[in-house]
Amino acid sequence: MGSTEVTLCGVRLDNPVIPASGTFGFGYEFAELYDINCLGSISFKGTTIEPRFGNPTPRIAECEAGMLNSVGLQNPGAEKVLTEELPRLKKVFKKPLMANVSGFSVKDYTAAVEILDREDAIGWFEINISCPNVHGGGLAFGTSCENAAAVTAAVKKVTKKPVLIKLSPNVTDITEIAKACEAAGADGLSLINTLLGMRIDLKTKKPVLANKAGGFSGPAIKPVAVRMVYQVYEAVKIPIVGMGGISTAEDVIEMMLAGASAVEVGAANLAEPFACKNIIEDLPRVMQKYGIDNLKDITGGAHNG
Ligand code: SIN
């Protein structure tokens, strides 16, 4: 049987499959369904320095081949995540975790990272500069090279753990933002976050989401994500976590060939709670079908020759 092992910023993973932040809670709920130690890692619920209730409802809208969300970073705040959520998760998950952090100012990001940095089980920080559902934060950092670099440099100063920056597809040229983060010291990048979208209710003749617009995810965005991972792989030297519409083992391989060292599975978890487990179990079969012995060797394979 081939090897599914990969390395991300020097940290080893049994396989490249990571549930994406915001689609897997703090993980322990899923441990009631199956042994979540089969996962490569978990990117846990986006955490901010202060607790957040999130946006008004409705926050979810179904779409063809995907979904819209405008959750608005609902979470209990960094201190409670550290003292209440992570101890629960650590009881059932024994591998390095990915801490997804959001903020409304550079100070917000660094303050939340400083708190979570006290947890040894955190293997990487994933700094979300791409949430499309909040005003004055998130995306405001991810659409400007200068702001993206400022957050990256500030976070790098307060932790020794690897820092990945989560990029937005809602930009003219994602490679420019990627290069700015790399130059500011990022250890890796994760992409793509959701695409800004909207649905209108024909009966009310108003937007379905209370926040009007939201982030579109699911199978329909996969070709956009593959294209952006491919472009960013050519633009930077740091590793990439690829995400956007992944729901099968074939999708994992496609994303890795584009340039990803690991992948995140998002919307698929909401439709099928066993999605990540199913993908991981199917990987050896698909690897064999395509003549792949070591999954780590295929990263960027689509660029060769
Ligand atoms: C949200 O909580 O609004 C989703 C997070 C994100 O898209 O970054």
pLDDT in tens, 15-67: 999 999 999 999 999 999 999 999 999 999 999 999 999 999 999 999 999 99
Indicate the fold that domain 6-54+73-195+218-303 takes in CATH: TIM Barrel (3.20.20)
Per-residue pLDDT band for 305 (boundaries 50, 70, 90) equals: low
Ligand 1, atom 7, residue with closest C-alpha: 131
Return the pLDDT at 139.
Answer: 79
Report residues whose beta carbon is within 6 angstroms of any ligand 1 atom: 22, 46, 69-73, 128, 130-131, 133, 193-194, 215
Nearest partner of 264 among 6, 3, 2, 1, judged by Cα: 6
Q: Which tokens is 160 given? A: 């020794």
Ligand 1, atom 6, residue with closest C-alpha: 131
Rounded to two decimals, what is the model's pTM? 0.97
For the ranges 6-20, 56-70, 77-91, 137-151, the lowest mean pLDDT is seen at 137-151
Distance CA 73, CA 254 (A): 29
Distance CA 11, CA 161 (A): 10
Nearest atom, ligand 1, residue 132 CA:
7
Whether residue 304 has pLDDT greater than 80: no
| Neighbouring residues of 219: CB distance < 8 A, sequence distance ≥ 6 | 65, 66, 245, 247, 267
Mean pLDDT, range 66-75, rounded to an integer: 96
Return the pLDDT at 134.
Answer: 84
Distance CA 63, CA 22 (A): 18
218: helix, coil or strand?
A: coil
Mean pLDDT, range 76-80, rounded to an integer: 98
Q: Which tokens is 165 given? A: 């920056």
C-beta separation of 30 from 277 below 8 A: no
Return the pLDDT at 131.
Answer: 85
DSSP string, 153-167: HHHHHH-SS-EEEEP
Calculate how far, in angstroms, residue 109's C-alpha sits from the geometric centre of ligand 1. 15
Calculate how far, in angstroms, residue 304's C-alpha sits from the geometric centre of ligand 1. 35
Mean pLDDT, range 5-12, rounded to an integer: 98
Ligand 1, atom 2, residue with closest C-alpha: 73
Cross-strand partners of 241: 190, 262
C-beta separation of 280 from 39 below 8 A: yes
Whether residue 1 has pLDDT greater than 90: no
Buried b (16+ CB within 10 A) or exposed e, 225-245: bbebbbbbbebbebbbbbbbb
pLDDT tens digits, residue range 206-252? 999 999 999 999 999 999 999 999 999 999 999 999 999 999 999 99
Whether residue 137 has pLDDT greater than 80: no
Domain assignments of the chain as residue spans, ordered by start: 6-54+73-195+218-303
131 is catalytic: yes
Q: Residues 38, 63, 131, 276: which is the catalytic one? A: 131
Cis peptide before 192 (omega within 30 of 0): yes
Mean pLDDT, range 103-122, rounded to an integer: 97
